[in-house]
Structure 1
């Protein structure tokens, strides 16, 4: 299979995402962070992929489970923000802190309880079903990892993640580099 890639830039993220999704079409995809990292590993340093900023189709969502546990749900390949329409809703939402779809005071995207509940169950807004792996299961290794998937990590484990510039050796054991 021949892989073809293109880079899309726009000062307004929903427009860039829309261009990328339209370019990908039904058979393509917008690259996730693991896919971009894999491309870098397999590309000479002179390639544009090494000196260009990308917004991968990956997201980290801080959620509370129905049991009341705080978790981080990392989604690769398209989750709540896997569509340009959801980005558009976020960017155009009221700036009031009580806005259901807008940004928080710390500029994090707000999501609804229904979006969180659905995603924890492996249901994405576009109607797809994706596997949701526990952090421990993912750390042990997954054979034949699909293009779209999620990892649920206990918030206390996620908080152990390093901040700032760290060595590659430290990243190997970082719980949020998944």
Structure 2
């Protein structure tokens, strides 16, 4: 990947975190149901924001920069007690506020993350229309770049009035708004 990146073959990198380290989650594990401990102003959310920033720092130190970050990969799976692999629940409101209050200010401090696109709700379509109204207000719509979902279908009629700058990305049948 690093060689391809360095020789100038065009591609964009997207990071999609599946879970924080287990010790930061309410269930103490990487898999299964659980969310970050505490509240948005507490040490776990601040540490997790720094953890994500450190990911980009390390890649940048090796000459690789990213195009986008999904705030949380498949956050709804973090409600499933026996989910078999890494997951973490993050509500729509929490995704919005985590991005606005912690990630954006932190990413604005580095030249290689200042233009990083933040993508909210990287999950399956069943929850998409409701989440659009919970994640995007006028202020958030301008600060969050996109919205991602998997398994696109006929629900687009309901979605387009909420998020008019809709784009579909063909990777694993994913839509990015």
- TM-score (norm: length of structure 2): 0.28
Greater percentage in helix: 2
Higher relative contact order (CA 8 A, sep 6+): 2
- TM-score (norm: length of structure 1): 0.28
